Structure 1
Amino acid sequence: MTGNFYKRVLLAAVIIFTLMIAGCAGMEVSTGPDKSVSSRQQSDSDLKVHFIDVGQGDSTLIEKDGHFMLIDAGERDQGPTVVSYLKEQGVKKLDYVIGTHPHSDHIGGLEAVIKAFDVDKIIMPQKAHTTKLYERLLNTIDEKKLKITPPKIGEVYELGDSTFQILGPNRDYGDNLNNWSVGIRLDYGKTSFAFFGDAEKGAEDDMLANGFSLKADVLKVSHHGSSTSSSGPFLDQVSPEYAVISCGKDNDYGHPHKETMDALQKRNITVFRTDQLGSILAVSDGSKVTFPGQNKGSTNDSKTKTEESKSLTREYVLNTNTKKFHLPDCKLATSIKKENKETLKGTRDEVIKMGYEPCKSCKP
């Protein structure tokens, strides 16, 4: 009987030991899938920033964890293009729509977008405009029973697992609509993106002084690369590794201007341009930013494109009194006194070398 007892004890010990091994094995099996799921979720939850090609205008779609934000939508005729692009990306609802400022090349397509999608929040500056296009946009917002949220400096919003902070506008800029642009810095993990609409140097100075961080890995270059924006101190403070310029091919404004391209090149910033590459995608995994399908040769391509634009000959109207030059259809050009008005056919650089400055209204 004693022998049978010890046999039973030994058998029980073997069974318990076997169960313990099986249990440990089971734990290892369950841990493996958990880790792979976590890795897969991290990959699926990358922050994606789409710089949409809308010609001479701006439009950016940001997506994170199934949440979407749209910044601007190009001219009115680009509305269907933006709507189609958003649907291709699986957008059914927009958490945020930001209309940076009332110029048509930024808010023109928003009417079509707001009609096509449900929108949670619309952020626009408190600067009214008298154009029919702007009034149509306001009517559409009313029809959808939406309200406009004015930008408040320093306020932070969530987009999935990312956040963005309002950095501009900082004050009343009168009739300078560009400086009314809503500026934001978007953060995900250790990476950041900066968007400032068409903010010019005056607004940039205010953002430099407001105490909030401007540092970003990617800068959406303000005002399509115009020399009225992207001052040296501002670029130094943002200190991006990459810059994206949204502009139209062979546009009438000569964007991006040589001064801006030189400033970016001087700082070894890699440049991507929609007029050369079409729509551009940037992806952040929280640690680094990549541009799938693009290469760093884009900076050299941009330089070549800029050199070509320097030789573009066109007609300019000169004001010999104010030493400003304008495009022929500029409203300020038509008001120049006859004795102070001259017409010149040449390149933009040639006019600047003659001592003239570009008009801030038509931005030749």
Structure 2
Amino acid sequence: MKKRNRSAMNRHRLQRVSKVGALWLLLCFLISGCGIQLGVEPAQGDAASPLPAGTKADGQLRVIFLDVGQGASQLLISPSGRTMLIDAGNNSEEQRMVDYLREYGVERIDIVVGTHPDADHIGGLDAVIDHYEVGAVYMPKIQANTKTFESLLQSIRDRGLKVKTAKSGLKLDWDEQVDVRLVAPVEQSDDSNNMSAVIKVAFGETSFLLTGDAERESEKAMLASGADVQADVLLVGHHGSTSSTSLSFLRKVSPKYAVIQVGENSYGHPKQEILDRLKKQNVQVYRNDRQGTIEVVSDGREIRITTER
């Protein structure tokens, strides 16, 4: 999707950014260490709910699957009120993302993760970084020769930030009560989807697996690595495409609930084959296209799910 003009300054600065060569140098400059390779309660949600309630510390973990149409974005608010934003939808969702964060009372984003360079995941991140104080930025070591990716890197540089490499085995310092670990990418790949950052978030007896667009190749690598991927809540990979959520991976995750971040699209997402697979494994499915924004709240023992509609 063509990038929207954000300001005359942005237009001029993008004209100064060269194509592949300069972009690669910029990415290397931004990525620190560039030389290195890089009991669950029944879900509630039958009725509409006023989801935003601010980022105050309330002792609970909130994982909010924002409705950004055919794209993906998750806002996490920790028990102590710290924030993490994973992806930010497409370019067309920039203002919507800024509005969402205002509604949830976000004043600072402690960690930003761009799971991979696809526009429907990172398109709105530049606007978020332009508008908010950000503590740290993580992205996998893969580039894209697109205006969307260039604009994101430029925003990161303009704010004096550096990109930290998202890769398996990395533990994120976010909230001492919540364990946040990357379980992918395990191996270097030329495929951006299979380079997706996959994040496991554990709080008490509850856990979440947030998969970006990771496909079967990445799922196989995660299983081979011996990583603990079991989770109560699964973000279904690649918007419910048949390229992801293999049966062996789904069985290993063994989720009780699944969220599919999807909007109106021409791809046929989510595929019926995946919906049938989830149903056969007795997984309760939530979808942004049908229920709007979906919020999952954990107190460390039980999970409660509310939906926008």
Please classify the TM superposition score into its range, dividing by the shorter chain length: 0.7 to 0.9
* Alignment match of 2:66 (pick from 28, 49, 52): 52
Partner of 1:171: 187
- Could you say which structure has the higher helix fraction? 1
Q: Secondary structure at the match of 2:199?
A: strand
Residue 52 of structure 1: CA displacement? Answer: 0.2
Cα distance change, pair 279–293 in 1 and its aligned pair in 2 (3 A): closer
Task: For 1:54 and 1:74, locate their aligned partners in 2 and report how far apart those are by CA, in whole Å.
Answer: 6
Partner of 1:215: 230
Q: Secondary structure at the match of 2:244?
A: coil
* Alignment match of 1:262 (pick from 276, 290, 296): 276
Q: Secondary structure at the match of 1:56?
A: coil
Residue 293 of structure 1: CA displacement? Answer: 4.9
Residue 156 of structure 1: CA displacement? Answer: 1.3
Q: Secondary structure at the match of 2:306?
A: coil
Partner of 2:128: 113
Unmatched segments (≥5 aa) in structure 1: 1-42, 296-364
Partner of 1:129: 144
2:62/2:77 contact within 8 Å kept: yes
Cα distance change, pair 82–256 in 1 and its aligned pair in 2 (3 A): same
Cα distance change, pair 274–146 in 1 and its aligned pair in 2 (3 A): same
Partner of 1:289: 303
TM-score by length of 2: 0.79
Partner of 1:95: 110
The one-character-per-residue Cα deviations of 1:255-293 (angstroms, maximum 9, x if unpaired) are 000111011000010000000011001000100111035
* Alignment match of 1:86 (pick from 101, 106, 125): 101
Q: Secondary structure at the match of 1:90?
A: coil
Moved more, 126-135 or 285-294: 285-294
Alignment of 1:119-158 (within 5 A): 119-158=134-173
Task: For 1:127 and 1:289, locate their aligned partners in 2 and report how far apart those are by CA, in whole Å.
Answer: 35
Of all paired residues, the percent bearing the same amino acid is: 44
* Alignment match of 2:90 (pick from 61, 75, 97): 75
Task: For 1:158 and 1:182, locate their aligned partners in 2 and report how far apart those are by CA, in whole Å.
Answer: 16
Partner of 1:303: none
Q: Secondary structure at the match of 1:240?
A: coil
Task: For 2:214 and 2:158, locate their aligned partners in 1 and report how far apart those are by CA, in whole Å.
Answer: 30
The RMSD of aligned alpha carbons is: 1.5
Q: Does 1:248 align with 2:263?
A: yes
Partner of 1:280: 294
Residue 173 of structure 1: CA displacement? Answer: 1.0
In the comparison of the two structures, how many residue pairs are matched?
252
Q: Which runs of 4+ in 1 moved over 4 A?
A: none
Residue 155 of structure 1: CA displacement? Answer: 1.8
Partner of 2:20: none
Higher Cα Rg, which structure: 1
Cα distance change, pair 128–259 in 1 and its aligned pair in 2 (3 A): same
Task: For 1:75 and 1:242, locate their aligned partners in 2 and report how far apart those are by CA, in whole Å.
Answer: 25
Task: For 2:187 and 2:89, locate their aligned partners in 1 and report how far apart those are by CA, in whole Å.
Answer: 25
Task: For 1:128 and 1:222, locate their aligned partners in 2 and report how far apart those are by CA, in whole Å.
Answer: 20
Partner of 1:235: 250
2:167/2:197 contact within 8 Å kept: no
Partner of 1:12: none
Could you tell me which amino acid in structure 1 is paired with residue 240 of structure 2?
A: G
Could you tell me which amino acid in structure 2 is paired with residue 52 of structure 1?
A: L
Task: For 2:270 and 2:189, locate their aligned partners in 1 and report how far apart those are by CA, in whole Å.
Answer: 24
Task: For 2:123 and 2:115, locate their aligned partners in 1 and report how far apart those are by CA, in whole Å.
Answer: 11
Query: Taking CA–CA contacts closer than 8 Å with sequence separation of 6 or more, which of the two structures ends up with the larger relative contact order?
Result: 2
Could you tell me which amino acid in structure 2 is paired with residue 270 of structure 1?
A: Q
Task: For 1:293 and 1:153, locate their aligned partners in 2 and report how far apart those are by CA, in whole Å.
Answer: 31
Cα distance change, pair 103–235 in 1 and its aligned pair in 2 (3 A): same
Task: For 2:189 and 2:171, locate their aligned partners in 1 and report how far apart those are by CA, in whole Å.
Answer: 23
Q: Secondary structure at the match of 1:229?
A: coil
Q: Secondary structure at the match of 1:44?
A: coil
TM-score by length of 1: 0.68
Unmatched segments (≥5 aa) in structure 2: 1-56
The one-character-per-residue Cα deviations of 1:100-139 (angstroms, maximum 9, x if unpaired) are 0000000000011001111111000110110011111111
Q: Secondary structure at the match of 2:263?
A: coil
The one-character-per-residue Cα deviations of 1:210-235 (angstroms, maximum 9, x if unpaired) are 11100000001010000000000000
